[in-house]
């Protein structure tokens, strides 16, 4: 029942882990946040306005950029699936564990459950994103309105359905523009000072994807009773990727993730 | 009534806990991560949600008093006793694929929790797409105010246990973690025990 490992094996494994940990937690210094506001997008192949409380779905080709610009205080919840195999999907536990941090900022990447990079955070003005606490639900919306208006849980179900998926396919969602942090006692705090007018992100698709986006206030947002503003969704064409591309070279983990992408996709 | 299930080192297990029954999970040798998933026993599309659980609790770790929430926002079980202190639900399970990213491509062909989950879920008609971010009982994953996150040495001692009371009929699926690249189980996978009472 107990498969014995020798003290020497354990000591060697521990040393190896400590080496990975040291390298991972002392990763190359990430850059300053992107300046606000987002640059003009003159060559977009798609621009869309998602009203507060609503959702949208879209497809991205590998290399294309997804620019998200909330019109003010709102959170954008995101789920993503690989094409053509949608059983490969956003995996936030791996995303944070593999990068030794729950803070996703410019220069970080977002992993699938297959050890591949789905998206790169190539531009990001705030660094205020939440991987831990999920989106709004009928209950959290009803808590303040007495009425289960549009909410992220139902938006994700609707979006998944329109992509040919169902409840079983909905992963834990990434909340962009949600300044949730963990205090020294392990409790969640909401830090609105991390956000500012004009915040934006550019996510680069690192494989062909379909995505669901929900534009709802976050349940931990103390001003969640206010109606969310419109969200601008802009798809930009692929650009050449430099050999020293930040997201592809920032960490050893990201490099190995992109090696996994290349293994199935051919050279990139 | 009481049933006792000993889960060998590195092995999977699954069983039904009826509403009102108590699930006791024992870390027999100490420092063993026990990766766990819950499903509504009659509707597998309702399943454990780490994000709903953390948000409902307002804190990043699971311990006594935590309501284990489903993806439909319902309470599946409640943690009524915990001798270890806290448990992780942010770091997910290990997989052959994530091992390659975290520990190098030479670790790809090591048995992992996701292999256990796929095999055990298949017995219940489920597939990889049914694997969601799981609970890691007895796994020590502190998250710092600056966001830093690391798997640290386990804090559980031999015989540490927790108890959960089911509020609906649940299917419990366990992978007794085989990971040997991080200290979640002291680099030395050991057996654990599950007891269902009531």
Mean pLDDT, consecutive 10-residue segments, chain B of 198 residues?
96 98 97 97 98 97 98 98 96 98 96 98 98 98 94 94 98 97 94 97
- Give residue A267's pLDDT: 47
Cβ within 8 Å, pair B129-A169: yes
- Give residue A149's pLDDT: 72
Using a CB-CB distance cutoff of 8 angstroms, which residues of chain A are in contact with residue B60? 132, 182, 186-188
Using a CB-CB distance cutoff of 8 angstroms, which residues of chain B are in contact with residue A171? 132
Mean per-residue pLDDT for A132-139? 94
Cβ within 8 Å, pair A172-B51: yes
Cβ within 8 Å, pair A188-B183: no
Cβ within 8 Å, pair B92-A91: yes
Using a CB-CB distance cutoff of 8 angstroms, which residues of chain B are in contact with residue A13? 180-181, 187
Using a CB-CB distance cutoff of 8 angstroms, which residues of chain A are in contact with residue B183? 14, 17
> Domain segments of chain B: what residues?
2-197
Using a CB-CB distance cutoff of 8 angstroms, which residues of chain A are in contact with residue B29? 2
Cβ within 8 Å, pair B148-A101: yes
Q: Mutate which of A2, A252, A258 to test chain B, going by most B C-beta atoms within 10 A?
A: A2
> Domain segments of chain A: what residues?
41-265
User: Which CB contacts under 8 angstroms, 24+ apart, belong to A136-141?
Assistant: A136/A216, A136/A217, A136/A218, A136/A219, A136/A224, A137/A219, A137/B52, A137/B73, A138/B73, A139/B73, A140/A219, A140/A224, A140/B55, A141/A216
Residue A266 has pLDDT above 60, yes or no: no
Using a CB-CB distance cutoff of 8 angstroms, which residues of chain A are in contact with residue B192? none
What chain A residue is nearest to B74 in terms of C-alpha separation? Answer: A139
Closest partner residue to A186 (CB to CB) among B29, B60, B151 is B60
A7-25 helix and A252-265 helix, angle to the nearest 10 degrees = 100
Q: What are the phi and psi torsion angles at A262 (to 5°)?
A: -65, -35
Closest partner residue to A98 (CB to CB) among B86, B98, B128 is B98
Cβ within 8 Å, pair B61-A186: yes
Residue B25 distance to chain A (closest CA, Å): 17
| Residue A79 to residue A173: CA distance in whole angstroms | 5
**Pairs of CB atoms within 8 A across A/B:** 168
- Give residue A95's pLDDT: 98
Express each pLDDT in B97-136 by its tens digit: 999 999 999 999 999 999 999 999 999 999 999 999 999 9
Cβ within 8 Å, pair B52-A134: yes
Contact, B187 vs A14, CB < 8 A? yes
| Residue B164 to residue A58: CA distance in whole angstroms | 41
CB proximity list for A252: less than 8 A, separation 6 or greater: A23, A24
| ipTM score of complex | 0.97
Residue A146 has pLDDT above 70, yes or no: no
What chain B residue is nearest to A187 in terms of C-alpha separation? Answer: B59
């Amino acid at each position: 029942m107990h498969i014995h490992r020798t003290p020497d094996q354990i000591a060697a494994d521990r040393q190896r882990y400590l080496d990975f940990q040291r390298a991972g937690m002392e990763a190359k210094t990430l850059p300053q946040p992107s300046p606000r506001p987002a640059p003009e997008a003159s060559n977009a192949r798609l621009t869309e306005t998602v009203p507060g409380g609503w959702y949208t779905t879209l497809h991205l080709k590998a290399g294309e950029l997804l620019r998200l610009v909330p019109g003010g205080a709102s959170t954008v919840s995101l789920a993503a699936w690989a094409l053509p195999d949608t059983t490969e999907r956003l995996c936030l536990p791996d995303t944070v564990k593999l990068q030794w941090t729950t803070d996703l900022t410019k220069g970080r990447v977002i992993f699938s459950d297959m050890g591949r990079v789905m998206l790169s955070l190539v531009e990001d003005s705030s660094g205020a994103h939440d991987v831990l606490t999920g989106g709004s639900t009928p209950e959290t919306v009803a808590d303040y309105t007495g009425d289960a208006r549009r909410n992220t849980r139902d938006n994700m179900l609707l979006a998944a359905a329109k992509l040919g998926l169902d409840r079983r396919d909905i992963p834990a969602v990434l909340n962009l523009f949600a300044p949730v942090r963990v205090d020294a006692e392990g409790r969640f705090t909401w830090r609105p000072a991390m956000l500012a007018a004009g915040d934006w992100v550019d996510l680069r698709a690192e494989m062909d994807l379909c995505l669901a986006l929900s534009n709802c206030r976050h349940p931990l947002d103390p001003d969640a009773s206010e109606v969310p503003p419109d969200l601008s969704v802009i798809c930009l064409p692929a650009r050449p990727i430099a050999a020293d591309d930040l997201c592809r070279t920032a960490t050893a983990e990201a490099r190995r993730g992109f090696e996994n992408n290349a293994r199935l996709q051919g050279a990139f | 009534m009481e049933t006792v299930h000993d889960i060998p080192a590195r092995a999977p297990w699954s069983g039904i806990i009826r509403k009102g029954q108590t699930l006791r999970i024992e870390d027999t040798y100490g420092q063993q991560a026990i990766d766990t998933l819950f499903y509504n026993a009659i509707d597998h599309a309702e399943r454990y949600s780490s994000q709903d659980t953390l948000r409902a609790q307002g804190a990043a770790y699971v311990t006594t008093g935590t309501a284990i929430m489903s993806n439909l926002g319902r309470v599946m079980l409640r943690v009524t006793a915990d001798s270890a202190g806290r448990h992780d639900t942010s770091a997910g399970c290990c997989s052959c694929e994530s091992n390659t990213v975290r520990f190098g491509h030479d670790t790809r062909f090591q048995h992992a929790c996701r292999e256990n989950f796929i095999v055990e879920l298949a017995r219940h008609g489920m597939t990889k797409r049914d694997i969601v971010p799981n609970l890691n009982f007895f796994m020590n994953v502190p998250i710092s105010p600056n966001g830093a996150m690391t798997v640290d040495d386990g804090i559980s001692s031999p015989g540490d246990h927790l108890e959960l009371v089911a509020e609906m009929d649940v299917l419990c699926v366990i992978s007794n973690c085989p990971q040997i690249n991080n200290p979640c189980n002291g680099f030395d996978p050991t057996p654990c025990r599950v007891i269902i009472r009531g």
